[in-house]
Chains A and B, each alone.
Chain A
Amino acid sequence: MMIPAINWSLVSLEVLMAITLVSLVAVDIALPKNVKKDWIGTLSFFALFGLIIFWSTQGDLRGVTFSGMFVMDSLAWFFKAFFLIAMVFVFAMTKEFFKSLGERRNEFYLLLWLALIGMCFVASSADFLLLFISIEILTISLYVMTAYLKSDKLSIEAGMKYLILGSLASGFLLYGISFLYGTTHSTHFDVIQSFCQTHAMSSMTLFALVLILAAVGFKIAAVPFHMWVADVYQGAPTPVTALLSVGSKAAGFIVLIRLFFGVFAAWHFEWSLVLAILSAITMTFGNLVAMFQKNIKRLLGYSSISHAGYLLMGAAAGSALGISGMNFYLLGYLFTNLAAFLVIILFSIAVKSDEIADYAGLSQRSSLLACTMLLALVSLAGMPPLAGFFGKFILLMAVIKAKYVWLALIAGVNIVISLYYYLMVAKRIYVDAPHSSTPIPVSAGMRLLLVVAIFGIIAIGIFQGPFLDAAMTAVNGMYLAHP
């Protein structure tokens, strides 16, 4: 049997991550049981920064390996960089969040690394088998992390819910892949793509696509596959919620881009209306329900559903512009949403609450936390000069260009609805009187991270050029076997 040649340089990031993970496991075993210091977390940080520096030098990495199962292109580079940056925040949140948990926190870091590896493989998948496996790596580590707080009922419930619905989605995905295999005789993206270009959609492939879309819809939290979101967001440890809302969602979107902009691009005409309707329903549902939330994590859960809806506009437009818009939007969303979750973690550690009512008068207890939260909320609502605005701007442009003016109008209505509930939270923070006047302490490291997040939100919002270039390069250099 001949083993095909493997270009190891293309998988260098994943290999380095795997090495890190294994060494961290070794360190964990070697460490004495009752060490107070958070060694694994500190080492993880150094490793992550090393990887980010390494990755920033690898911008030109292009190629296909593992018999075409693994593709390394500009899109993969962009999203892997995205995941790495997101992970900096998530690791920092974890360090802060698990200060009280002692020894059990080490395994949590290892699970985070596993999730990161899963996401990076998702970004490079060019075969349904690899795609399925990497999604499972990501999702299974998320199941465990969601139910990590053993003594917390909500956390267990969240883990259970996520597991059941997630398994269902995995089942859909597999079922869809099997139908696709039945028609095209391959799991390979290249082969399926050329099949799509030469064949019209049949009832078999239609069925397969619906199932796959359902599985992806589960990942990105699109209506009607969103049922898990609120409870899981609320119950999961907050760093996991942050990871779910940014990393896992972005992983879903890269699959969407690869499938509906690459593999099934030939059938886009049939699909774009479905995606447009999905987008409209998703954003409207998410925003309408978010208005009535009392818990900040649930509120951001529903708001993340609505953001999936906005992002789907780019997929509905189906153009390079739309996809660039999605990339840009996700970049802004990364800093914005992680800033919000950072505040939520610091607040909940000090106040032991995630209820919006308890946020009253936050501005008088910590001006930095209040200011970060305000900027994050306003950016989520899509107001200039913050990151969220330009993303919505590009997506609106893309859908109008694709002649979906009705979708743009629905998005406009949604922006107003979302502004309402974001401003209600801002009002609590800035206008209402505080329940207690004790200041909320923020450590120096966290201050730095908050400032970085604020800086990101404002810089992306004002100096859109370089970020837009990155988002567009990612799309233009995307690997397509049969363009």
Chain B
Amino acid sequence: MITPHLSWILLLPLLGLGLVCLVPSAKTVLIRRISKVAVLAPFILSVWVFAAYNHLAGGFQFVVNVPWVVPFGISYHLGVDGINSLMLLLLGAISFAAVLISGSITERVKTYYILLLITIIGTYGAFLSLDIFFFYFFHEVAAVPVFLMIAIWGSERREFAAMKLTLFLVAGAAIALIGLLALYLSTGLQTFDLVAIQQQLVNHPLPVHVQSWIFPLIVLGFGITLTLWPFYTWAPVGYAEAPTAISMLHAGVLKKMGAYAIIRFAIQLMPQAAHAWMPIIAGLAIINIIYCGIVALTQRDLKYILGYSSCSHMGYILLGLACFNTIGLNGVVYLMFAHGIMAALAFALTGFVADQTKTRNLDELGGIIKCMPFIGTCFMMAAFASAGVPGFANFVAEILVLLGAWDQYRLFTILAVLGLVITAIYMLKAIRLGFQGPLNPRFAQLVDAQTLSAKFPYVILMALLIFVGCWPTVILTHIGSSTKTIVESIQ
């Protein structure tokens, strides 16, 4: 059987990036075409990887391992298990959709696609890497392109938002880096290879006093990426001002790198410290859910609602991480996927609306579902998904997290359910004020997404959301094969 070679997932978009750099900037049609192919190719490969992954065998598959910096034990080590194969699929779908909806960008097209492709390549690299150094390396690659994209193509407060987002994320990354380096040095293995470190630490865990200071550094660092309360403030403003593609990618995938890193580097490698620290994190997670949810209630700007909503929902991921059981962890990974698709869809739709109406304020919008039936319906479905209505992927994920948390955190679980009610309130409010009611005459001329190609990006995301929501076993078997080993090693 032919097995996919993971390096191509990086090399093909890299090739596309090179080509885009060479094309003269006036040939925008060609640039757009190359970019579409450059993200479609890794998407197809990701689907292939996901389908070809053997969940019965488990473990890391399709491994590529090339020594890179020998004195430090850094290697170009790629491989997938049930968790990151799903993340690849998530990134593939969202990045493809993000490039497709970028047609509305008409200024400095070449720079735009170059930066977008760098961001996407960096994110692919981070999810593929089984080497701690390269994870960090790729994860930081996206920082500056995202800054420039927000600062150049963002809306009104773009410069402030870009700077705030970047500085928060880089601060988090710097803290995490110190934690990761301390981890590397304390294992004494002289390798950044995740698999080797895992094997070593299962049998010879680090001393508890060492774990107990490295763990919070890593969790705090990546927690900032994951909008852990009270370090979430970069996200709402960042997502609101960013161009649509970046909002989609960041809320959908990039922040999930934080959760991914916490699972892989913190909880799995330092279980003793995790047991001591995670209850505190669970407490913060509940503040995330309730506080950010209430703030979302008060917002009038559609993108701010989505931004706060996204911060609020990260609370479920953090709560699930604190469970230490298979159900909870399955829920976390499931939610990373489900929330990613949902958030990307919602941001894409909002971007579509805002491009035409030039406003995102709910008081000015109104009744636009009448002239945009397709977009409006999609938005309603995304909102239902977000509120955890059965039939969508988020329902399965959130139920799993809540079930996982119930045994240890009764009160927190009840509050988390309350958070879903809050979500339903602000989402319904957004639908009622923005999409239903009397049509503002200003918007009588609005045009819906009419052609199939215009609808396509939304259709992909919507289809995934419903498919995964109605047939959870497809991805639960994948996730389960990997979470089982993680939970066994941490209990």
Give the interface of A toward B (CB within 8 A): 363, 378, 383-385, 389, 393, 396-397, 400-401, 405, 408-409, 412-413, 415-416, 419-420, 423-424, 426-427, 430-431, 464-465, 468-469, 472
Contact = CB atoms under 8 A, between A and B. Distances in A.
30 contacts: A383-B140, A384-B140, A385-B141, A393-B181, A397-B181, A397-B185, A400-B181, A400-B182, A400-B185, A401-B185, A405-B178, A405-B182, A408-B178, A409-B178, A412-B175, A412-B177, A415-B170, A416-B171, A416-B174, A419-B166, A419-B167, A423-B163, A426-B148, A427-B162, A430-B148, A431-B159, A464-B68, A465-B69, A465-B70, A469-B71
A465 B133 CA distance: 13
Given A423-B147, A431-B152, A416 B69 contact: no
B170 A400 contact: no
B338 interface: no
A155 B171 CA distance: 38
Nearest to A467: B69
A431 B174 CA distance: 26
Contact of B151 (A389, A405, A415, A430): A430
B137 interface: yes
A465 B152 CA distance: 35
Contacts of A396: 177-178, 181
Given A383-B143, A401-B185, A419-B166, A430 B177 contact: no
Contacts of B171: 412-413, 416
A408 B182 CA distance: 10
Contacts of A363: 111
Where chain A touches its partner, the secondary structure class is helix
A400 B178 contact: yes
A37 B69 CA distance: 47
Interface string B253-293: 00000000000000000000000000000000000000000
A415 B174 contact: yes
A433 to B, nearest CB: 12
Contact of B163 (A385, A397, A408, A420): A420
A469 B171 CA distance: 30
A424 B167 CA distance: 12
B452 to A, nearest CB: 36
Given A384-B137, A400-B178, A419-B167, 12 more contacts: A383-B143, A383-B170, A384-B136, A384-B140, A396-B177, A397-B185, A400-B182, A401-B185, A405-B182, A416-B167, A430-B148, A431-B148
B68 A431 contact: no
A424 B151 CA distance: 11
Contacts of B133: 393
Given A400-B181, A431-B152, A465-B69, A378 B144 contact: yes
B458 interface: no
Interface in B145-176: 147-148, 151-152, 159, 162-163, 166-167, 170-171, 174-175
Interface in B439-470: none
> Which 5 A-B pairs rank lowest in CB-CB distance, beginning with the nearest?
A412-B174, A384-B137, A416-B171, A431-B151, A384-B140
B137 A397 contact: no
A300 to B, nearest CB: 18
Given A397-B185, A412-B174, A415-B174, A430 B152 contact: yes
Given A400-B185, A412-B171, A465 B68 contact: yes
Interface string B51-78: 0000000000000000011111010000
A469 B177 CA distance: 23
B334 interface: no
B174 A464 contact: no
Contact of B137 (A385, A400, A468): A385
A60 to B, nearest CB: 21
Contacts of A412: 171, 174-175, 177-178
B184 interface: yes
Contacts of A426: 144, 147-148
B310 to A, nearest CB: 23
A377 to B, nearest CB: 9
Interface string B89-121: 000000000000000000000010000000000
Contacts of A472: 71
B243 to A, nearest CB: 13
Contact of A420 (B68, B69, B111, B167): B167
A468 B185 contact: no
Contacts of B175: 409, 412
A400 B184 CA distance: 10
Contacts of B143: 383
A400 B166 CA distance: 25
Contacts of B159: 427, 431
Given A396-B178, A397-B181, A405-B182, A389 B70 contact: no
B200 to A, nearest CB: 18
Nearest to A377: B144
A384 B177 contact: no
A412 to B, nearest CB: 4
Contacts of A408: 178, 181
A468 B167 contact: no
B151 A427 contact: yes
A396 B133 CA distance: 13
A416 B170 contact: yes
A194 to B, nearest CB: 31
B152 A389 contact: no
A378 B166 CA distance: 12
Contacts of B148: 426, 430-431
Contacts of B178: 396, 400, 405, 408-409, 412
A413 to B, nearest CB: 8
A389 B181 contact: no
Nearest to B147: A423
Contacts of A378: 144
A21 B333 CA distance: 68
Contacts of A383: 140-141, 143-144, 170
Nearest to B143: A383
A396 B488 CA distance: 33
Contacts of A389: 137, 140
